[in-house]
Amino acid sequence: MGKHTPKADRHKRPPGRTILLTGASGYVGKRLLPLLERRRERIRCFARRPAAVRSACAQSTEVVQGDVLDLDSLRRAMRGVHTAYYLVHCLHSARDFEVLDRRGAEHFAIAAREAGVNRIIYLGGLAESGPDLSAHLRSRHEVGRILRGSGAEVVEFRASIIIGNGSLSFELVRSLVERLAVMICPRWVRSAAQPIAIGDVLAYLTACLDRPAGDSRIYEIGGSDRVSYGDIMREYARQRGLTRLMIPVPVLTPRLSSLWLALVTPLYKRVGRRLIEGVRNPSIVTDAGALAAFHIRPIGLRQAIRTALVDEERRFAAEPLSRLAGYASGEGPKRVVAGFGNRILDCRAVMVPVRPERAFAPIRRIGGRTGWYYANWLWHLRGLLDILAGGAGFRRRRPDSHPLRAGSRIDCWEVALYDPGRRLRLKALMKLPGRAWLEFEVIGDGDASTIVQTAAFDPRGSAGLAYWHLLLPIHNRLFEGMLRRIARAASR
């Protein structure tokens, strides 16, 4: 994150003012929320699904239910608000997102005017206005114009591509580079951009709270490097250790590219099309007003990508894999398949009528003479294949003479994390086209528990993805059988 020191005196800010945050469950909003909560002010989150926000916010934060398309819910949420963040968009909608974005902004402006809101802080998209502007960027600019009609002071930040784990633009770049060893690159890949790290975006959004009252203003924000989309792909590939061949072609419009992208990255089918149709518009800073108004010096592309990958690794190491997969104990399906960065998470759960310590007992004994509870012959076959590939293979080994701890060896796995009675994470030592983990977690209290088993795989390029999908039928049978037998052992 770039260094910053807000120009305004922190001690002169209005004491105890109420700050409204919309989009608190979105990519930027969920990262901004803890930064706002550290301030001595009242925070109110506005969310369509309050439960998803309450679990991640402080007790002092107020959460109200509503939708920007519902004017009455906005009027209730705006009462007593001094500053409001507008961080919502309708890109994911199957309907006409421009119409929905316009309606949401109009409702927000009406509610802000009626409530006497002093300032609105809005995060939009960076591009020069004109007839060739994409529908997505045109809608972002229109939202800013509508908000400025509220009568409140509006500070609009227009950002280039945001670099960070979970950012739509960054995840699209990641998906393309990870999946394609050879990329056909149309002319738009050479379009100029000024990517900015998510940490620097958050620095601008928080520093704006200490900005003295004034007129509405648009600030263009970007990182310190001007690069092309191709440069972003090459730098990501370099940091991931991937070799990628990029072949330039004079044709293939953004529209055709978006259709092709939907085949390569189906997860981002709808939103990906809408984003990629805007890459023909250069997203570079032409007005240095943000650098003059805020003491923030954004970092460059290389450091932004490195920071994103390091932060991703840190979060992966610290949090339970079930949480990263979005599994909620006792709610929803008993199996969740999700992504975290480049990782694939396969999370399964089963309830057992025993106390947590009993539920964890068979997990604590796994491997060695106990075995893996299901299809042990498959584990031995995998070990033989590993030896043929030059690996160490499957060796019956575990620290029976002393408690498990990080670094302990269990057959072909290494203990990455051990929290007695609660969680065991294993990291694969086998030769793989990527990295693999297997985590067991016990959730509950009293006389009932939930055993959660999560397999995680970080595929290295297209070979890793092929490996995961080819072995998926075997893994499904193995993981399901293992969890079922562990639950049976715990219940005995």
For range 400-415, the mean pLDDT: 84
- Residue pair 99/63 in contact by the 8 Å Cβ criterion: no
- Residue pair 115/75 in contact by the 8 Å Cβ criterion: yes
For range 228-238, the mean pLDDT: 93
Q: Is the pLDDT of residue 481 over 50?
A: yes
For range 103-112, the mean pLDDT: 96
Which of 268, 289, 311 delimits the end of a domain?
311
Which of 287, 311, 335 delimits the end of a domain?
311
pLDDT for residue 6: 42
For range 343-353, the mean pLDDT: 94
Whether residues 285 and 397 fall in one domain: no
Distance of CA 343 to the CA centre of its chain: 12
pLDDT for residue 183: 79
- Residue pair 192/286 in contact by the 8 Å Cβ criterion: no
410/197 Cα distance (integer angstroms)? 39
For range 372-392, the mean pLDDT: 87
Whole-number Cα distances in Å, 325 to 340, 350, 417, 453: 7, 16, 18, 11
For range 110-134, the mean pLDDT: 91
- In the chain, the number of structural domains is 2
Alpha carbons within 13 A on the beta-carbon side of 347: 25
For range 235-242, the mean pLDDT: 93
pLDDT for residue 273: 60
Whether residues 11 and 132 fall in one domain: yes
For range 231-252, the mean pLDDT: 86
pLDDT for residue 486: 97
What pLDDT, in 10s, does the model give residues 10-62?
Answer: 334 445 799 999 999 889 999 999 999 998 889 999 998 888 788 788 889 99
pLDDT for residue 29: 94
Read off the tokens for 394.
Answer: 């499957």
Q: Is the pLDDT of residue 402 over 70?
A: no
Q: By three-state DSSP, how is residue 97 classified?
A: helix
Whether residues 400 and 443 fall in one domain: yes
What pLDDT, in 10s, does the model give residues 293-313?
Answer: 999 999 999 999 999 999 999
**Which residue, 100, 92, 38, 30, is CA-closest to 69?**
100
User: CATH number for the domain including 411?
Assistant: 3.30.530.20
Whole-number Cα distances in Å, 488 to 347, 359, 436, 446: 19, 10, 26, 19
Q: Say which residue, 87 or 5, is predicted with more confidence.
A: 87
Whether residues 301 and 353 fall in one domain: no
258/431 Cα distance (integer angstroms)? 36
What pLDDT, in 10s, does the model give residues 313-324?
Answer: 999 999 999 999
396 pLDDT band, cuts 50/70/90, is low
Q: By three-state DSSP, how is residue 196 classified?
A: strand
For range 74-79, the mean pLDDT: 95
Whether residues 135 and 258 fall in one domain: yes
Alpha carbons within 13 A on the beta-carbon side of 200: 34
For range 198-207, the mean pLDDT: 97
Whether residues 238 and 361 fall in one domain: no
Mean pLDDT, the chain, as a whole number?
A: 87
What pLDDT, in 10s, does the model give residues 427-447?
Answer: 999 999 999 999 999 998 788
For range 380-399, the mean pLDDT: 79
Q: By three-state DSSP, how is residue 446 classified?
A: coil
Q: Is the pLDDT of residue 477 over 90?
A: yes
Phi-psi region of 374 (alpha: psi -120 to 50; beta: other; left: phi over 0): beta
Is 333 buried (19+), middle (13-18) or exposed (0-12) by CB count in 10 A? exposed
For range 453-465, the mean pLDDT: 92
Whether residues 290 and 438 fall in one domain: no
pLDDT for residue 93: 62
Whether residues 246 and 302 fall in one domain: yes
Which residues have a Cβ under 8 Å from the Cβ of 333 and sit 6 or more positions away?
none
Q: By three-state DSSP, how is residue 460 classified?
A: coil
Which of 311, 328, 347 delimits the end of a domain?
311
User: Which single residue is written with the structure tokens 């240095």?
Assistant: 288
Strands (E), 334-447: 335-340, 343-352, 409-410, 413-419, 423-428, 434-445
User: CATH number for the domain including 195?
Assistant: 3.40.50.720
Order of strands, sheet of 335-340, starting from the edge strand that comes earlier in the sequence: 335-340, 343-352, 448-459, 434-445, 423-428, 413-419, 409-410
102/154 Cα distance (integer angstroms)? 16
pLDDT for residue 492: 83
46/78 Cα distance (integer angstroms)? 9
Whether residues 328 and 304 fall in one domain: no
30/52 Cα distance (integer angstroms)? 10
Whether residues 324 and 433 fall in one domain: yes
111/146 Cα distance (integer angstroms)? 12
pTM over 0.95: no
Q: What angle do CA 28, 34, 35 make, to 5 degrees?
A: 80
111 pLDDT band, cuts 50/70/90, is very high
pLDDT for residue 7: 41
Residue 477: give the domain boundaries.
319-491
For range 233-259, the mean pLDDT: 79
What pLDDT, in 10s, does the model give residues 137-162?
Answer: 889 999 999 999 999 999 999 999 99
What pLDDT, in 10s, does the model give residues 187-197?
Answer: 778 889 999 99
Whether residues 72 and 185 fall in one domain: yes
DSSP-derived secondary structure for 245-296: EEEE-S---HHHHHHHHHHH-GGGHHHHHHHHTTTTS-B----THHHHHSEE
Whether residues 107 and 213 fall in one domain: yes
Instruction: Select, from the ranges 87-91, 187-191, 289-293, the one with the highest average predicted confidence (pLDDT).
Output: 289-293
pLDDT for residue 2: 57
